[in-house]
Chain A
Amino acid sequence: MAATTTLDSRSATGLRHGRSHEKGLASMLFLGALWLSLFFGIVVLVTLIVSTAIDGAGRFDSELITNYDSTLNPETAGVRASLFGTLWLMLTTALMAVPIGIAAAVYLEEFADNQRWYNRLIEVNLQNLAAVPSVIYGMLAVAIAALFGTATTNIVLVGAVALGLLILPVVIISTREAVRAVPQEIREGSLALGATAIQTTWRQVLPSAVPGISTGTILALSRAVGEAAPLLLLGVGTILFTPNGFLSGFTAMPVQIYGWTSESQEDYKVAAAAAIIVLMVMVLALNGLAIFIRNHFQRRW
Chain B
Amino acid sequence: MSTNEAAGEAAGLVVADLRRRRRPHERLVLGLLQGAALLSILITVGIVVALLRPAIDFFQEVPLLDFLTGTNWRPNLDPVDYGVLPLVAGTFMTTAIALALAVPFGLGAAMYLSEYAADRTRRRLKPVLELLAGVPSVVYGFFALQFITPTVLQGWLGINVGFTNALAAGLILGVMIIPTVASLAEDAMSAVPQALRHGSLAMGANRMQTTLRVVFPAAFSGISAAVVLGLSRAVGETMIVALASGGRPNLTFDAREGMQTMTGYIAATTGGENPVGSVSYNTLFAVGLLLFVLTLIVNIISIALVRRIRQVY
Q: Looking at the complex, which of B75-83, B190-198, B237-245 is the stretch in contact with chain A?
A: B237-245
Complex interface: chain A residues within 8 A of B276 (CB): 151
A139 to B113 Cα, complex, angstroms: 39
Chain B residue with the shortest CB-CB distance to A190: B18
Once the chains bind, are A273 and B142 in contact (CB under 8 Å)?
yes
Our pick among B33, B201, B212 for the contact of A104 (Cβ within 8 Å) is: B33
Q: Looking at the complex, which of A1-9, A17-25, A66-74, A243-251 is the stretch in contact with chain B?
A: A17-25
User: In the complex, what's the smallest C-beta–C-beta distance from A31 to chain B, in angstroms?
Assistant: 7
The 28 listed contacts between A and B (C-beta, < 8 Å) are A27-B206, A30-B211, A37-B108, A38-B112, A38-B113, A42-B132, A51-B151, A52-B139, A100-B36, A104-B36, A106-B33, A122-B37, A127-B303, A128-B296, A132-B292, A132-B295, A139-B51, A139-B285, A192-B18, A196-B23, A229-B242, A232-B270, A257-B139, A258-B239, A261-B138, A261-B145, A261-B243, A273-B142
Size category, A interface:
35 or more
Complex interface: chain A residues within 8 A of B312 (CB): none
Once the chains bind, are A229 and B267 in contact (CB under 8 Å)?
yes
Complex interface: chain B residues within 8 A of A111 (CB): 30, 33-34
Complex interface: chain A residues within 8 A of B263 (CB): 133, 135, 229
Known: A48-B135, A128-B299, A151-B276. Is A228-B207 also a contact (CB below 8 A)? no
Q: Is B43 an interface residue (CB 8 A)?
A: yes
Find residues 178-208 in chain B having any chain A CB closer than 8 Å to their own CB.
178-179, 201, 204-208
Once the chains bind, are A136 and B47 in contact (CB under 8 Å)?
yes
User: In the complex, what's the smallest C-beta–C-beta distance from A263 to chain B, in angstroms?
Assistant: 12
A196 to B232 Cα, complex, angstroms: 43
Once the chains bind, are A135 and B236 in contact (CB under 8 Å)?
yes
A227 to B242 Cα, complex, angstroms: 13
Q: Is A240 an interface residue (CB 8 A)?
A: no
Residue-wise, chain A 35-46 has the 8 Å CB interface mask toward B (1 for contact) of: 111101110110
Complex interface: chain B residues within 8 A of A192 (CB): 18
Complex interface: chain A residues within 8 A of B299 (CB): 127-128, 131-132
A287 to B130 Cα, complex, angstroms: 9
Beyond A41-B175, A45-B128, 12 extra complex contacts between A and B, CB < 8 Å: A33-B108, A38-B129, A41-B105, A52-B146, A101-B36, A129-B44, A133-B236, A165-B43, A228-B136, A229-B238, A229-B267, A254-B239
Complex interface: chain A residues within 8 A of B232 (CB): 131
A266 to B211 Cα, complex, angstroms: 50
Q: Is B56 an interface residue (CB 8 A)?
A: no
Complex interface: chain B residues within 8 A of A229 (CB): 137, 238-239, 242, 263, 266-267
Q: Is B288 an interface residue (CB 8 A)?
A: yes
Chain A residue with the shortest CB-CB distance to B306: A127
Once the chains bind, are B141 and A37 in contact (CB under 8 Å)?
no
Known: A24-B206, A104-B40, A136-B291. Is A37-B135 also a contact (CB below 8 A)? no
Once the chains bind, are A128 and B134 in contact (CB under 8 Å)?
no
Chain B residue with the shortest CB-CB distance to A272: B142
Closest 7 CB pairs of A and B: A226-B136, A133-B236, A37-B108, A143-B50, A103-B36, A107-B33, A229-B238
Q: Is B253 an interface residue (CB 8 A)?
A: no
- Looking at A26, A31, A228, A276, the one whose CB has the most chain B CB atoms below 10 A away is A228
Once the chains bind, are A27 and B288 in contact (CB under 8 Å)?
no
Once the chains bind, are B303 and A41 in contact (CB under 8 Å)?
no
Complex interface: chain A residues within 8 A of B205 (CB): 20
Once the chains bind, are B131 and A45 in contact (CB under 8 Å)?
yes
Known: A235-B272, A287-B127, A291-B127. Is A48-B139 also a contact (CB below 8 A)? yes
User: In the complex, what's the smallest C-beta–C-beta distance from B107 to chain A, in angstroms?
Assistant: 8
User: In the complex, what's the smallest C-beta–C-beta distance from B19 to chain A, in angstroms?
Assistant: 5
Once the chains bind, are B206 and A41 in contact (CB under 8 Å)?
no
Complex interface: chain B residues within 8 A of A226 (CB): 134-139
Complex interface: chain A residues within 8 A of B32 (CB): 103
Known: A38-B113, A191-B18, A233-B270. Is A125-B236 also a contact (CB below 8 A)? no
Complex interface: chain A residues within 8 A of B157 (CB): none
Chain A residue with the shortest CB-CB distance to B50: A143
A20 to B208 Cα, complex, angstroms: 11
Once the chains bind, are B136 and A227 in contact (CB under 8 Å)?
yes
A53 to B207 Cα, complex, angstroms: 41
User: In the complex, what's the smallest C-beta–C-beta distance from A155 to chain B, in angstroms?
Assistant: 15
A116 to B303 Cα, complex, angstroms: 19
A70 to B237 Cα, complex, angstroms: 29
Chain A residue with the shortest CB-CB distance to B204: A20
Find residues 178-234 in chain A having any chain B CB closer than 8 Å to their own CB.
191-192, 196-198, 219, 222-223, 225-229, 232-233
Complex interface: chain B residues within 8 A of A31 (CB): 112, 116, 208
Once the chains bind, are A254 and B138 in contact (CB under 8 Å)?
yes
Complex interface: chain B residues within 8 A of A20 (CB): 204-206
A222 to B256 Cα, complex, angstroms: 33
Known: A35-B112, A131-B229. Is A122-B41 also a contact (CB below 8 A)? yes
Complex interface: chain A residues within 8 A of B70 (CB): none
Residue-wise, chain B 253-279 has the 8 Å CB interface mask toward A (1 for contact) of: 000000000010011001010001000
User: In the complex, what's the smallest C-beta–C-beta distance from A268 to chain B, in angstroms?
Assistant: 11
